[in-house]
Each structure stands twice: as C-alpha cells, then as structure tokens.
Amino acid sequence: MQTVGSAGWKSISHAVAAKRQLKCPKCGGRELRIRERSIAYSVFEQDKNGAIPFEGHHGHDRVLGLDARCRGCDHSWKPRGVMQITDLEGYAGEPQSPYKGPSR
Ligand SMILES: [Zn+2]
C-alpha cells in the first residue's frame, strides 16, 4: 500500500488523516457507489396510555465503515484506511449553496 503525501506528512498522519480519493483496485475506475455503513436507530415516544406512534425519529449512531462498488466493472471491496465519507478527498462536505457547479 502506498502512503499519501510526502515523507514528512507521515509523522502527523495519526492526528490528521490524509484525505484519499478512491479508485477501483481492479480496473482503476473512479465512478463508484460508496456506501457508508452505520448503526441506525429509531426512537419512539410511548404516551401515558401506552400508545406508540407508527413512526419514530430516525437517527444513526457509530459509523462502521465504507464499502464501494465500481460502476465500470462491478467489483466491490472495502477500502482500507478510511472510515467514513468525510475521509474521502472528493467529498463535497456540508452543503453551503444548493448549487455546487456542474455535475456530470
Ligand atoms: Zn472497476
């Protein structure tokens, strides 16, 4: 496995993880479906009569990791060294403007 960045970068890599861009290990393609897996939960409020509503509040807890599937060759794998979508270089981040520029 190659390390990202220069040699000097390596010493601080434990504190600030290097952003990585994923590509397919099989064909090198970059068009991927990336799935961030986490523990999901739903919270239901039971009232004084014991009634529980149909729908609860959904949320997610701990992120478990990423897996990816290549749009080109259909290869799927679990990328190493990255834990969540924000670890990836190409991630847009929090939305600031509804328009991010040209997308495909
Ligand atoms: Zn591929």
From ligand 1's centre to the CA of 47, what distance in Å?
51
* Whole-number Å distance between alpha carbons of 85 and 35: 8
**CA-closest candidate to residue 26, choices 80, 77, 85, 87:** 77
Per-residue confidence band for 7, with pLDDT thresholds at 50, 70 and 90: very low
Angle at alpha carbon of residue 37, lines to 36 and 41, rounded to 5°: 125
Contact 75, 25 (CB under 8 A): yes
From ligand 1's centre to the CA of 69, what distance in Å?
8
Name the pTM for this structure.
0.62
Per-residue confidence band for 8, with pLDDT thresholds at 50, 70 and 90: very low
Model confidence pLDDT, tens digit, residues 9-66: 444 444 455 688 999 999 999 999 999 999 999 999 999 999 999 999 999 899 999 9
The pLDDT of residue 102 is above 90? no
